[in-house]
Structure 1
Amino acid sequence: MSELLQLIKQAAMEQVESSKPVAVMIGKVVSAAPLEIQLDQKLRLTEEFLVLTKAVVDYSINMTVDHTTESHTHSHSYQDDSTSRTTQPHTHNHAYVGTKSFTIHNKLKVDDHVILLRVQGGQEYIVLDVVGGGIL
């Protein structure tokens, strides 16, 4: 009878846990590779329990640009009849046009404080963003 009671209690607890709505939590990154986030003194989440958003990972993006570089003054050295020569200083800029790839560096770092959403049932946590630029 005791085993049956334990099974009923466990099933009831699982039902209560699975019915909990999403919860907002704050965690602290304690390891970047492999990624680990500490929620409280007892709960440390590893990568298999984390769903990372674009706000907390490095990624590349293509952007269309159409502008010129800032003006720059410089001269060039060259060899002429075994003599080293230098051109007169020249100021110029360059066109910077087209589709270019840029890397966004958002990867989590140790000591970052992050906002997490606990997915219903508590098996996965969505890492939304870093709190206040990483400092809490």
Structure 2
Amino acid sequence: MGLLETIKRAGLGAVEAGKPVAILFGTITKKNPLEVIVDQRFSLTEDFFIFLEDVRKKVLEPGDTLLLLRVQGGESYVVLDKV
């Protein structure tokens, strides 16, 4: 890896470190398999979500809105509750 690439990665890491989490809203578009559109910008499947036990017990249907906590890097989202 070259010096320029190393500097770019360090800069990106500094930006991400400044915003370790974000609270977002998602709307369920499909129930099985689960699909959620997040902030009307992008769609994610169940693989990206970590469900709290209380949320798992709730009946989730298409059209329901979820309160999400994006984990740093955006590779996983904690489903905090159904709104």
Q: Structure 2 length normalisation: TM-score?
A: 0.78
Secondary structure class of the residue paired with 1:110: coil
| Bigger-Rg structure (1/2) | 1
Q: For residue 55 of structure 2, what is the aligned residue in structure 1?
A: 56
Unaligned runs of 5+ in 2: none
Deviations 1:67-94 (A, max 9, x none): xxxxxxxxxxxxxxxxxxxxxxxxxxxx
- Distance in 2 of aligned mates of 1:21 and 1:124: 12
- Residue 14 of structure 1 is matched in structure 2 by 13
**Counterpart in 1 of 2:65?**
113
Task: Identify the residue that residue 33 of structure 2 maps to in structure 1.
Answer: 34
RMSD of the TM alignment (CA)?
2.0
Deviation at 1:53, TM superposition (A): 1.2
Q: Give the ranges of 4+ consecutive aligned residues of structure 1 lying more than 4 Å apart after TM superposition.
A: none
Change (3 A) 1:19 1:114: same
Distance in structure 2 (CA, Å) of the matches to 1:121 and 1:56: 23
Q: Relative to total residues, which structure has the larger strand share, 1 or 2?
A: 1
SS at match of 1:129: strand
* Local SS of the residue matching 2:63: coil
Contact 1:19-1:120 within 8 A present in 2 as well: no
**CA distance in 1: counterparts of 2:17 and 2:30, whole angstroms:** 29
Equivalent-residue separation in structure 1 for 2:45 and 2:17 (angstroms): 21
TM-score (norm 1): 0.51
Q: Which has the higher helix share?
A: 2
Q: Deviations over 1:94-120 (max 9, x none)?
A: xxxxxxxxxxxx131111001011123
Q: Equivalents in 2 of 1:15, 1:45: separation in Å?
A: 26
Q: Is the 8 A contact 1:18 1:121 kept in 2?
A: no
Shift of 1:35: 1.1
Could you tell me which of 105, 109, 129 is aligned with 2:81? 129
